[in-house]
Amino acid sequence: MVFAGFDLSGQVDTLKQSADSLPERFFVLQNIYRDGESLPEIEIKEVTVLGKRKPSARFQYWKYERLVYNVRRVYPYAVIVRMKIDDVNSVLQTLPGDKERKEYIKEVEKNVFKDYEGDMRQMTITQGKILIKLIDRETRNTSYDLIRDYRGRLSAAFWQGIARICGTNLKEEYDPYGEDAVIERIIQEIEAGRL
């Protein structure tokens, strides 16, 4: 009788062990039909693979942190520019004549200056240079092209002259695989919510 109690308790332990050996996380595969075949499939998150940087191309830590600060400061404005341009383009398509379009663009310009001029004046020249590149990234048009398309060649030349005096260029393009690769990495981190 004494030994029978020990055997029962031993059996309970083996059951617990087999239950503990099941994985805590498991995935259920879905059957997807492609080209007449049933294939198992699971949806996974996007993975970005970044190569190792060459030692000569490494940033110093403080320079990288400063760049992160500057990109985080100006990236929301580049997104705002993209949304404003989309809104303006959709409204411009509904307006019948050139006079109405010009009046609408002047009104939008006045509102943009009223809303964002203070923020733009507080930016550093470095942040302005980054913003010019990010506007090109978001809209696929340089800042010069946007001003020329909406305000005309004379206005674009005036603002390009002001930018050149400040040491930048409105015609500068964004190169995510070249000189702006570090900025692209930072933006990917911001969009993923890790920065």
Residue whose token pair is 């059957």: 31
Closest CA to 82 of 158, 177, 174: 174
pLDDT of 13: 47
Q: How many other C-beta atoms are found inside a 10 Å radius of the C-beta of residue 55?
A: 6
Give residue limits of the domains in the chain: 60-192
Q: Is the predicted pLDDT of residue 165 greater than 80, yes or no?
A: yes
What is the average per-residue pLDDT within 136-140? 90
pLDDT tens-digit readout, 26-60: 667 788 888 888 888 877 777 767 666 665 555 57
In this prediction the pTM is 0.67
DSSP character string of 44-98: -------PPPPGGGPPPHHHHHHHHHHHHHHHHHHHHHHHHHHHHHHHHHH--SH
Amino acid occupying residue 33: Y
Q: How many other C-beta atoms are found inside a 10 Å radius of the C-beta of residue 195?
A: 14
Task: Between 181 and 2, name the one with better pLDDT.
Answer: 181
